[in-house]
């Protein structure tokens, strides 16, 4: 699920130039990506 979220174009745009600190995944519901 995490890989699928990171492959989406909109997510890639938002993460551009930022460092991923933590990824929180709730199966079949939610993926939170913490960046700095």
Q: What is the pLDDT of residues 1-36, one digit of tens each?
A: 899 999 999 999 999 999 999 999 999 999 999 999
| pLDDT number for residue 15 | 96
| pLDDT number for residue 4 | 93
| pLDDT number for residue 33 | 97
Domain count, the chain: 1
For residues 16 and 6, the answer to whether their CB atoms sit within 8 Å is no
| pLDDT number for residue 10 | 97
- Domain of residue 26 covers 1-35
Three-state secondary structure call for residue 6: helix
pTM exceeds cut of 0.95: no
């Amino acid at each position: 699920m995490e890989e699928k979220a990171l492959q989406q174009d909109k997510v890639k745009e938002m993460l551009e130039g930022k460092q991923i600190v933590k990824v929180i995944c709730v199966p079949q519901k939610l993926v939170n990506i913490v960046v700095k």
